[in-house]
Chains A and B, each alone.
Chain A
Amino acid sequence: ETGVTQTPRHLVMGMTNKKSLKCEQHLGHNAMYWYKQSAKKPLELMFVYNFKEQTENNSVPSRFSPECPNSSHLFLHLHTLQPEDSALYLCASSQVGGSETQYFGPGTRLLVL
């Protein structure tokens, strides 16, 4: 266990559904990240939060909406997704700074029908 948990582990949703992914870290970190991992592509950084403030939005479509109520919890709200959004969504946490080790959760495998 890395100290980063994600729920649900698997999710199937239709294009008109609304769902949320949850991430929680128990490491005392103050930075949290959402990544998208698709087959045969590098990990794509989606959002970065430092001390609960969003500091990075990597040109992510508005159908993905992050929320960080505190330094330990991170959500990704999903609505009107497309089939090409099917992927593994990974959450990570670290101390603030690009040279700090990031610890990943197990991911949520999302399938959009």
Chain B
Amino acid sequence: GENVEQHPSTLSVQEGDSAVIKCTYSDSASNYFPWYKQELGKGPQLIIDIRSNVGEKKDQRIAVTLNKTAKHFSLHITETQPEDSAVYFCAAPFGNEKLTFGTGTRLTIIP
């Protein structure tokens, strides 16, 4: 099945600095890569996603990059703010119906 590895497991960043979280996947047929943010007491919320026909996508302070050759994709958060503190999950599809999730990154923004 699909194997998704996510690093780092924890990340502390000074407010205003950038944060980068990386994921690798195993199934070369995967063509959709979402990123989810989970705040305390809530379910995961989609923050950005990318499909395999593009290499980069941006939405304000958030960007995702995809390297299909190397089978990895990354989440970039610039100008971090305290409200960015949360657990972030990457995912990649396996088969026609399933998403395989990474193990999560706990991001802490230090004021």
Residues on A facing B (Cβ under 8 Å): 2, 4, 6, 31, 40-43, 45, 48, 50, 55-56, 90, 92, 96-107
| Residues on the A chain within 8 Å of B89, using CB | 43
State in angstroms the CA–CA spacing of A75 and B83 once bound together.
33
Task: Kindly count the residue-residue contacts between A and B in the assembled complex, taking CB atoms under 8 Å apart.
Answer: 60
Selected from B31, B34, B94, the residue in CB contact (under 8 A) with A101 is B34
State in angstroms the CA–CA spacing of A97 and B32 once bound together.
11
> Secondary structure of the A side of the interface?
loop
| Residues on the A chain within 8 Å of B43, using CB | 2, 4, 6, 90, 92, 104-107
Residues on B facing A (Cβ under 8 Å): 4, 31-32, 34, 36, 41-46, 49, 51, 89, 93-104
The minimal Cβ–Cβ distance linking B68 to chain A, given in whole angstroms, is: 14
Say whether A2 contacts B98, CB under 8 Å: no
Contact A104-B44, Cβ < 8 Å, known A42-B104, A43-B101: yes
| Residues on the B chain within 8 Å of A100, using CB | 32
Selected from B4, B93, B97, the residue in CB contact (under 8 A) with A31 is B97
State in angstroms the CA–CA spacing of A50 and B104 once bound together.
27
Name A40's closest neighbour in chain B (CB-CB).
Answer: B103
Say whether A98 contacts B96, CB under 8 Å: yes
Contact A41-B97, Cβ < 8 Å, known A101-B49, A103-B46: no
| Residues on the B chain within 8 Å of A97, using CB | 96-97
Say whether A98 contacts B102, CB under 8 Å: no
Say whether A102 contacts B45, CB under 8 Å: no
Say whether B42 contacts A98, CB under 8 Å: no
Say whether A106 contacts B95, CB under 8 Å: no
The minimal Cβ–Cβ distance linking A80 to chain B, given in whole angstroms, is: 27
Contact A106-B41, Cβ < 8 Å, known A48-B97, A97-B97, A99-B32: yes
| Residues on the B chain within 8 Å of A40, using CB | 103
